[in-house]
Each structure stands twice: as C-alpha cells, then as structure tokens.
Amino acid sequence: MDFGLIGYWPLEGNASDLSGNDLDGTAQNGASFQAGAVGQGLYFDGTNDALVLPSFELGGGMTISFWGKIQQFQNWDTIMDFANSSTSENLKINMNDAGSEVREMVFQMKTANGDRYVGEPFWVLNEWVHLALTVDSNATIRLYRSGSLIATESGADFASQISRSQHLFGKSTYNANHTKGMVDEIRFYDRAIQAREVAEIALQGNTAPFDLNASSPLSIAENLPIGTIIGEFIATDPDAWSTITYKLSDSNSSNDNHFFTLDSNGTLKTATVFDYESNASSHTITVQAMDELNATTEGNFTVTILDVYEPARENHTVDLNSTVDLEMIWVEPGTFTMGQSVTELRSLSTMLP
C-alpha cells in the first residue's frame, strides 16, 4: 500500500506527513483537529480555515485519496485546489448542483490541451464519504466513492507532472470558496492505485452493518407452498452510499438454513412444505448482512411453524344455494317407504298446518 506513496497526512492532532517524505502541512486560521473518519481529522469552519501542504511533484499517473464530510452545500465550495495560480495547472475538487441531501463532486484537471472533468453525485450532507481519483498510464481517470468505482473518463491528456506553488485544502486558490466540513487521511500516490487498494483504504473508515433483525416475528403456517414469504430482514449501516446484501450463512452447519431461502434484499421464503405434525415446531437459521466493502454481521433467528387444524376425516358440506333435487323421505308409523322426490315433497306439504 505504500508503493508510490508521495505523502500521507492522517491528521491525528497535527498535519504531519507520515510517508517519510517530510511533507508536513500547516492548519491555518483555526482549522481544528476533531473526531474524523479514522481517528482524528481536520475541521474547516467555512469562513477562512484551510490546510496548506508543501509543494511536491504531482501529475501524469497519480492517485488522490481522502475522506470528506461536507457540512454546508454551496456551489463551487472547494475542498482541494493545487495550482500555480488560480487558473494555472489546477488539480481541483469542488462541488456543484443544488441538492438538499447530495451534492456533485467535480474534479477539474487542467492539461496542455484543455480541462478534463469528472463529476458525479457524491457528497452527502454531514456524512463521511471516501474519495479516490486515479489517473492511470493511459490517462484514464477513475472516480471511486467510498470504495466503489462510480465513473471512468477516458482521454489522452495528463496533468503536467510538476511541482505547483499552491497546495490547498478547504478553499480555492482564489482564496475563496471555503468548504465547511472536514477532511481526513489524505494520501497522494505517483501511480494509479488499484480498485482493491481503494477498497482497502475505504474499509479503514467503514462501519460494518449492525442491528440485524427481522421486521416482524418469524412464523409460518404448515402446508403452505415452497416460496411463501415469511418475513424481511433489515440491518443498519451508518455509512453514506452503503448497500447491504443478505444471505443465509453456512458458518453454523447445525442450523436449519436448508429449509429456507433468503433473497439478497432480505426476504425470507420457505424452501419446503412444512408439516407441523412430522417436523420440528421451530427452526434456527443463521443470517448474514454484508455491506459493499464486505464487512459483515451475523445473527441466529428462530422460525416458528404454526399448526393448522387438519381433521382426520373430511366434513361433508352442502351448498344450500345450489340447485339440486333434495329428496325428502316420509316414514309413516309402522311402515317404511322409499321416497320419490316429487310425491314425497307433496306428502310433506299436506302435513303442514
């Protein structure tokens, strides 16, 4: 993970570079170290705070990686701007597009043949999002959001591989566009790191799913067909852009998972027709919830089989609305007569008052 690392600023109470390249930064105008995505990070008040890094060579194939948490959305608020002047050789990350909950991240990379841009819905208000931008040896730009590749932009032009005079976080090289929010774990590489390396970094600030539960008590009546829905599982993941998938876990071979199927969205269904009288009246299953970075939680749950009344002999039922000939039988005292429907009905009618 350290191969090609130019600088690493974990922001644990100071702006020291831990890459071994002695590129210590400076927190300016009261930018403060607070609880971050991994340990501590650096907070900008949106008024004048900034982080200034020393100059180092960056361009060509490269990687920019850090966490950001935006606490105020304004167009063109700038979280990073490396440039020689406000419009020269910029490597710039700012935000655009009105949105109450999500704001687009715009990466601007100046090249000798003009600007290249990558922009995607990205920042979630008040939530940490990991950003990785890579430029590979073919000049393809890739954008990863919290460990997942969300944009690929191909082109032929690189940013100049030079040492720029201004390296700013928290504001633009116009000395404006102040970002209100935090940054953490800043890394630069002189190569495009691979997707698995991006995921490895993003995992360091990831929270595994927790609070795995069924949305209602798990019970199912006997005799229902295979595929009947029993219930829904849901877990909590506090991370922005998280996706949780569910499955029956095989880690506990003594469980009854094989009687059930669990869709990736958390829907539990039957995989057999239960018979209350011959099966156990409850079954234990092991459920796993996994987020997009493969962090997991598991839980054991009991499914109760409900008894249905099944009489030993079926009752005969007569639909009294149907048009059938009902045969009435009249038996006189001391005699026995086989009835015949029409005549016996008449016999009955003469008996009535």
Q: Strand pairing of 296-306 and 219-221?
A: parallel
Reading the block at residue 17, the tokens are: 């570079």
Encoded amino acid at 194, one letter: Q
Binding mask 222-251 for Ca ion (x = CB under 5 A): ---------------x-x--x---------
Q: Is position 276 an interface residue for Ca ion (rule: CB under 5 A)?
A: yes
Cβ atoms of 81 and 171 within 8 Å: the answer is yes
Q: Using CB under 5 A, which of the segments 74-82, 104-112, 130-138, 273-281 binds Ca ion?
A: 273-281
Q: Is position 275 an interface residue for Ca ion (rule: CB under 5 A)?
A: yes
Cβ atoms of 88 and 110 within 8 Å: the answer is yes
Alpha carbons 247 and 134: distance in angstroms, whole number: 33
227: left (phi over 0), alpha (psi -120 to 50) or beta: left
DSSP state of 341: H
Shortest distance in whole angstroms from residue 291 CB to Ca ion: 4
Q: Using CB under 5 A, which of the segments 9-17, 18-26, 148-156, 262-270 binds Ca ion?
A: 9-17
> Helix, strand, coil: what percent of the chain each, to 5?
5, 40, 50
Give the residues across from 248 on adjacent strands: 287
Shortest distance in whole angstroms from residue 26 CB to Ca ion: 17
Among 5, 6, 8, 11, binds Ca ion (CB under 5 A): 11
Q: Is position 10 an interface residue for Ca ion (rule: CB under 5 A)?
A: yes
Q: Is position 256 an interface residue for Ca ion (rule: CB under 5 A)?
A: no
Q: Is position 310 an interface residue for Ca ion (rule: CB under 5 A)?
A: yes
Q: Which residue, 277 or 327, is less far from Ca ion as judged by CB?
A: 277
Q: Is position 291 an interface residue for Ca ion (rule: CB under 5 A)?
A: yes
Site residues (CB under 5 A) for Ca ion? 10-11, 36, 38-39, 184-185, 206-207, 237, 239, 242, 275-277, 291, 307-308, 310
